[in-house]
Amino acid sequence: MAEHFGLKYLRKEVLPTAFCPGCYNGILMNALFQAFMELGIEDLKRFVFVSGIGCSSWIPSPFIKADSLHTLHGRAIPVATGVKLANPELNVIVIGGDGDLASIGGNHLLHAARRNMDLLVIMINNQVYGMTRGQAAPTTPHGMITPTTPYGNPERPMDVASIIAGTNANYVARWCISQYIPLKNSIKDALSRYSRGFRFIEVYAPCVTYVVRREGKTPGEKLKELMKKCIRIETWKNMSREEREKHVATGVFKAEDKPGFIETYNKYIAQALGEK
């Protein structure tokens, strides 16, 4: 029997994954692995995955067959920064959730983006804290009922991709988990055409247990709904305010190829030490 293209990047002995049936984390894994495959990456020896705490942080640890650091809640980006600075030859990828990267680790996300640190950060926005039973996160929709917002969420969600696009980051995109091909191509771009500086991909993928099933939908039904709900940012911009709130703006928010932190740092050091 033919083998799935993703299996060679996985630790087969720990499969199936620990994720709930239908969890969209696995779809992101497919897109990531297909991007690796299409880029001709045979194994992940020269890749380091860094994650924090939360369901999506379990994607690399222990499932992906690569070096991985499963760090403290919110601290994946600083650990990844340390790894990359200490050995710039390594490809360093951070995978984490919205709670981990945008809430408790929000400051690190902003500053790594500001520095244009040479990292690829994939943030799975599942709208809640899935691992701890679906509490409200900074990305939870306004009015949504969760264990910590039993009367409806009084806060409005954070548009993380737009915020990061406002920094010095090189590449910023947002895709829905239902947009498999553009998501896969975007990951490919972030590893090839835009291989330096800070690259941020937000993946809109509601938690199947605490968002989708609470809505009374199956993961498949929600996926089909997302296919209609997620539209290109160009279309979204021309919509009325009410229409906008019903849709998710997706696409590439920013794509530049400025020198990343490491190149700039090395240039300054070389200039200073060369002049002596």
Contact region for another protein (CB under 8 A) — 82-90, 159-167, 185-193, 232-240? 82-90
> Strand 171-176 relative to strand 198-204: parallel, antiparallel, unpaired?
parallel
In this structure, is the dihedral angle defined by the CA atoms of residues 187, 7, 223 and 68, taken in order, positive or negative?
A: negative
Q: Which two tokens stand for residue 132?
A: 């701890």
Choice from 40, 42, 86, 150 touching another protein (CB under 8 A)? 86
Q: Does 101 bind another protein (CB under 8 A)?
A: no
Angstrom distance (rounded) from CA 236 to CA 251: 10
User: Least distance (Å) from another protein to the CB of residue 50?
Assistant: 7
Q: Does 207 bind another protein (CB under 8 A)?
A: no
Q: Does 70 bind another protein (CB under 8 A)?
A: yes
Amino acid occupying residue 39: L
Q: Does 80 bind another protein (CB under 8 A)?
A: yes
Q: Does 185 bind another protein (CB under 8 A)?
A: no
Task: Pick between residue 14 and residue 39 the one whose CB is nearest to another protein.
Answer: 14
Q: Report the interhelical angle of 76-86 vs 106-115 (nearest 10°).
A: 30
Angstrom distance (rounded) from CA 197 to CA 170: 6
Residue numbers 249-268 binding another protein by CB under 8 A: 265
Contact region for another protein (CB under 8 A) — 28-36, 95-103, 131-139, 163-171? 28-36
What does the per-residue mask of binding to another protein show for 31-60, with x meaning CB under 8 A?
Answer: x--x----------xx-x-x----------
> Strand 135-136 relative to strand 128-129: parallel, antiparallel, unpaired?
antiparallel
Q: Does 188 bind another protein (CB under 8 A)?
A: no
Q: Could you list the residues that contact another protein (CB under 8 A)?
A: 1-4, 6-7, 10-11, 14-17, 19, 21-27, 29-31, 34, 45-46, 48, 50, 61-62, 65-72, 74-75, 77-87, 89-90, 107-108, 110-111, 180, 208, 218-221, 223-224, 265, 269, 272-273
